[in-house]
């Protein structure tokens, strides 16, 4: 079998150990490497001519991406997973115990077990390349660093910094890594190996003491202070996870026990907790999301079609959405953008949006002012159709008015090239209707972003019957370059995300009218695992937007989408939500966060909050509406697969990731159980809860989606 590790000796006595997993784009740590590594370590120990060791990757642009996640998926029991962690501990401890200096030369992704491998080396040097990132993202997979990271990281960079890294899974850039003491040096890639060799020749160096604030020194230097850190971290984690994610608390426990009882005990605790997490349903769900998104990256969105290169984009409308789309196109995709708006105000909004995003990077020292200005130079503006002829794609983000969009289609066909794609950011109008104005309907497509554009990862790519495969593939590739996760959905009112969201929100509105308080409703769904509650979301999206979409959905999809009539009173009282500072919540002049519920809203709706129902029952009524409609969307062909339905709900509306998405969650609940729940509500509350046919069939057949 081809070797993964190759040891070469230099005349100066430094040995180079190159890791290059055969046939894979990324190096990942696999259990079968154990014997090979042990053999190499024995060889190194027995060869007195070797004065030092440099560990480097043979991959073009990555060091080690962590343990092989599919290997973790193969663990059938906690015992299997514990053995993996313990095997890692043995190898990394042996590496760390070498008497000769060991230096890791890092370029590209150094994540998870890859960073733990580097931490077992005596020193680390990384390249200053933008591709070089260091981190322990295990928590995002419902795991914890199981290769000694919970013990080595705090000892190297301090407890607070280590906890921050492990509890967020954040990726650290080279300069930050140097500053926090994670690496000993940062150099251009061209001299990375040479620098590592020189560090090895210079002999072992004790890690430089990490610069800490006085407060931090006191806190981390005393057991009393350390307990404050751990207790604070525990409180923050409980608030953020609502008890839905077990990994963070276990991470804190590993560090706490390791600091109090020594590294050996800490490693034992780490292996135990790691094992429990690997076989947890939360981690299984989160790993399935990783595999789904990785698989999706390889799909063009249209069988057999190749995307055309997008060298220039035009955005019609410089408002909130247009400004966001223009910003991600320049800052992420690095594609020249021309923004057209009817007013200078709209244009300056788009420029300001992009500048604000980029300037954040400058303030955080991720970017130089020059880099910011270069990216800003990619965005130009116009109030007329000038300089748009060579656009490869035009994204319209104007009012939801069909006549206006028809006019835009005609304008673009007149002003741009015959292959220019017309992509509409509409959130509700059928693309087929927009395409009616086109002489080249094959170029017309939907490209639906979610607000705020720079934060929400999902976009829906909506093909109508005449959209060409090449238009689909080009639009999907364009969205990916913007850093988005696109799902291709079929044309229909509300497409996928807004369609499943509408019923969820309507049920929350019904509960509100039955006397549940706004706070109780929002808290119940946050406890369930959503990032924000439905009423907060309605204020954020805009009560007027919801009111505009509902009748379109009801007309095309049926009575179940009818929004409660009482909600019309809100618009009558000019309550649009955050956008005009008046909705269900109060909004201070400058405050980002809503302050408190605007109690006067109950009077407008003609209701009085009564006794709050059990939070789980409140959440269940809203969630089962979303689940039922998600299955209808699959049945209607709006989404191509349960996988896309899960990713769309998680990345589009924050469906709780630890549940894996609506379809994974239905498998967990069981179709028969869900049908029983829905039928129960149907008998109590009416036909809007009627289970869809596919669910009933699955219930009878005890079928699953995955």
Q: Which residue from 116, 413, 460, 522 is in contact with ligand L74YYOSM, where contact means CB under 6 A?
A: 116
Q: Which residue from 21, 41, 55, 67 is in contact with ligand L74YYOSM, where contact means CB under 6 A?
A: 67
Stretch touching ligand L74YYOSM by CB under 6 A, among 134-142, 442-450, 515-523, 541-549: 134-142
> Nearest to residue 105, comparing CAs of 130, 88, 91, 122?
122
Residue 70 in contact with ligand L74YYOSM, rule: CB under 6 A: yes
Q: Which is nearer to ligand L74YYOSM, 65 or 120 (CB)?
A: 65
Least gap, CB of 250 to ligand L74YYOSM (angstroms): 13
- CB of 395 closer than 8 Å to CB of 316: yes
Q: Which is nearer to ligand L74YYOSM, 274 or 681 (CB)?
A: 274
The per-residue b/e assignment along 271-281, b for 16 or more CB within 10 angstroms, e otherwise, is: bbbbbbbbbbe
**Residue 389 neighbours by CB distance under 10 Å:** 12
Q: For residues 295, 298, 303 and 308, what is the CA-based torsion angle, rounded to 10 degrees?
A: 150
DSSP-assigned letter for residue 63: E
> Nearest to residue 323, comparing CAs of 339, 310, 307?
339
Contact pattern for ligand L74YYOSM over residues 438 through 477, marking x by CB under 6 A = ----------------------------------------
Stretch touching ligand L74YYOSM by CB under 6 A, among 24-32, 182-190, 450-458, 698-706: 24-32
Residue 162 in contact with ligand L74YYOSM, rule: CB under 6 A: no
Q: Which is nearer to ligand L74YYOSM, 143 or 525 (CB)?
A: 143
- Strands 458-463 and 444-449: what pairing? antiparallel
Q: Which residue from 52, 101, 112, 642 is in contact with ligand L74YYOSM, where contact means CB under 6 A?
A: 112
Q: Which is nearer to ligand L74YYOSM, 112 or 441 (CB)?
A: 112
Packing angle of the helix pair 159-168, 223-241 (nearest 10 deg): 20
Task: Quote the CA–CA distance of 255 and 145 in Å, as a whole number.
Answer: 11
- Strands 52-57 and 62-64: what pairing? unpaired
Q: Which of residues 291-310 bind ligand L74YYOSM (CB under 6 A)?
A: 294, 297
Task: Quote the CA–CA distance of 137 and 143 in Å, as a whole number.
Answer: 9
Dmax (CA) for the chain in angstroms is 86
Residue 479 in contact with ligand L74YYOSM, rule: CB under 6 A: no
CA triple 26-77-698, angle to 5 deg:
90
- CB of 622 closer than 8 Å to CB of 511: yes
Residue 60 in contact with ligand L74YYOSM, rule: CB under 6 A: no
Contact pattern for ligand L74YYOSM over residues 138 through 157, marking x by CB under 6 A = x--x-x-xxx-x--------
Least gap, CB of 336 to ligand L74YYOSM (angstroms): 24
The site that binds ligand L74YYOSM (CB under 6 A) totals a number of residues, namely 25
Task: Quote the CA–CA distance of 7 and 107 in Å, as a whole number.
Answer: 19
Residue 111 in contact with ligand L74YYOSM, rule: CB under 6 A: yes
**638 Cβ contact partners less than 8 Å away, ≥ 6 residues apart:** 489, 490, 492, 495, 496, 499
Residue 26 in contact with ligand L74YYOSM, rule: CB under 6 A: yes
- CB of 240 closer than 8 Å to CB of 224: no
Task: Quote the CA–CA distance of 613 and 619 in Å, as a whole number.
Answer: 10
* Residue 256 DSSP SS3: helix
Q: Which is nearer to ligand L74YYOSM, 254 or 630 (CB)?
A: 254
- CB of 149 closer than 8 Å to CB of 166: yes
Q: Which of residues 176-235 bind ligand L74YYOSM (CB under 6 A)?
A: none
Give catalytic residues, as residue numbers: 460
Q: Which is nearer to ligand L74YYOSM, 157 or 437 (CB)?
A: 157
Task: Quote the CA–CA distance of 325 and 346 in Å, as a whole number.
Answer: 13
Residue 113 in contact with ligand L74YYOSM, rule: CB under 6 A: yes
Residue 656 in contact with ligand L74YYOSM, rule: CB under 6 A: no
Q: Which is nearer to ligand L74YYOSM, 295 or 599 (CB)?
A: 295
> Nearest to residue 313, comparing CAs of 478, 179, 469?
478
Least gap, CB of 62 to ligand L74YYOSM (angstroms): 6
Least gap, CB of 278 to ligand L74YYOSM (angstroms): 9
Q: Which is nearer to ligand L74YYOSM, 294 or 368 (CB)?
A: 294
* Residue 148 DSSP SS3: coil
Q: Which is nearer to ligand L74YYOSM, 52 or 147 (CB)?
A: 147
Task: Quote the CA–CA distance of 503 and 483 in Å, as a whole number.
Answer: 29
Interacting residues toward ligand L74YYOSM by CB under 6 A? 25-26, 28, 65-70, 88, 109, 111-113, 116, 137-138, 141, 143, 145-147, 149, 294, 297
């Amino acid at each position: 079998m081809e070797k993964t590790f190759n040891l070469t000796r230099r005349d100066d006595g430094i040995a180079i150990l190159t890791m290059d997993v055969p046939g894979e784009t990324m190096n990942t740590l696999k259990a079968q490497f154990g014997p090979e590594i042990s053999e190499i370590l024995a060889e190194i120990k027995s060869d007195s001519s070797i004065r030092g060791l440099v560990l480097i990757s043979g991959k073009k642009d990555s060091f080690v991406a962590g343990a092989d996640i599919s290997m973790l998926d193969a663990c059938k029991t906690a015992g299997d997973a514990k053995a993996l962690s313990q095997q890692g501990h043995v190898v990394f401890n042996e590496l760390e115990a070498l008497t000769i200096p060991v230096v890791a030369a890092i370029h590209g992704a150094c994540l998870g077990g890859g960073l733990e491998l580097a931490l077992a080396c005596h020193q680390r040097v990384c390249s200053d390349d933008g591709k070089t990132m260091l981190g322990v993202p295990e928590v995002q997979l419902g795991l914890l660093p199981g290769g000694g990271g919970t013990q080595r990281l705090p000892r190297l960079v301090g407890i607070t910094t280590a906890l921050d890294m492990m509890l967020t899974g954040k990726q650290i850039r080279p300069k930050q890594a140097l500053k926090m003491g994670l690496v000993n040096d940062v150099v251009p890639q061209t001299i990375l190996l040479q620098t590592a060799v020189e560090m090895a020749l210079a002999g072992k160096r004790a890690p430089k003491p990490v610069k800490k604030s006085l407060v931090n020194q006191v806190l981390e230097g005393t057991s009393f202070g350390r307990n404050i850190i751990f207790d604070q971290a525990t409180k923050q984690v409980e608030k953020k996870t609502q008890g839905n994610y077990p990994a963070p608390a276990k991470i804190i426990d590993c560090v706490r026990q390791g600091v109090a009882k020594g590294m050996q005990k800490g490693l034992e605790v780490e292996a135990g907790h790691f094992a429990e997490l690997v076989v947890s349903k939360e981690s299984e769900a989160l790993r399935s999301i990783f595999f789904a998104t990785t698989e999706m990256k390889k799909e063009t969105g249209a069988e057999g079609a190749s995307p055309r290169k997008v060298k220039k984009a035009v955005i019609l409308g410089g408002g909130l959405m247009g400004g966001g789309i223009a910003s991600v196109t320049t800052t992420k995709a690095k594609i020249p953008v021309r923004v057209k708006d009817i007013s200078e105000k709209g244009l300056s909004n788009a420029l300001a949006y992009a500048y604000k995003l980029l300037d954040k990077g400058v303030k955080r020292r991720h970017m130089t002012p020059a880099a910011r200005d270069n990216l800003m130079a990619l965005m130009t503006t116009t109030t007329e159709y000038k300089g748009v002829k060579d656009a490869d794609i035009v994204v319209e983000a104007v009012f939801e008015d069909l006549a206006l969009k028809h006019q835009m289609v005609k304008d673009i066909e007149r002003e741009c090239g015959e292959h220019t794609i017309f992509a509409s950011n509409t959130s509700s109008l059928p693309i087929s209707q927009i395409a009616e104005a086109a002489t080249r309907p094959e170029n017309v497509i939907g490209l639906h972003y979610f607000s705020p554009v720079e934060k929400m990862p999902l976009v829906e790519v909506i093909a109508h019957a005449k959209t060409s495969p090449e238009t689909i593939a080009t639009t999907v590739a364009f969205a990916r370059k913007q850093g988005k996760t696109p799902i291709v959905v079929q044309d229909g009112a509300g497409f996928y995300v807004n369609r499943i969201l509408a019923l969820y929100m309507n049920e929350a509105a019904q509960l509100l009218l039955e006397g549940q308080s706004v706070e109780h409703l929002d808290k119940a769904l946050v406890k369930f695992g959503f990032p924000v509650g439905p009423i907060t979301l309605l204020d954020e999206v805009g009560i007027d937007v919801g009111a505009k979409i509902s009748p379109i959905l009801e007309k095309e999809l049926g009575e179940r989408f009818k929004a409660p009539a009482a909600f019309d009173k809100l618009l009558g009282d000019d309550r649009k939500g955050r956008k005009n500072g008046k909705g269900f919540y109060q909004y201070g002049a400058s405050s980002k966060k809503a302050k408190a519920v605007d109690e006067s809203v109950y009077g407008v709706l003609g209701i009085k909050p009564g006794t709050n129902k059990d939070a789980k029952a409140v959440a269940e009524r809203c969630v089962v509406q979303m689940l039922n409609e998600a299955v209808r969307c699959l049945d209607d062909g709006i989404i191509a697969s349960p996988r896309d339905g899960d990713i769309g709900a998680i990345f589009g509306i924050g469906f709780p990731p630890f549940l894996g998405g609506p379809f994974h969650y239905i498998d967990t609940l069981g179709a028969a159980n869900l049908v029983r729940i829905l039928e129960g509500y149907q008998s109590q509350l009416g036909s809007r809860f009627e289970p869809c046919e596919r669910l009933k069939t699955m219930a009878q057949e005890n079928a699953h989606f995955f």
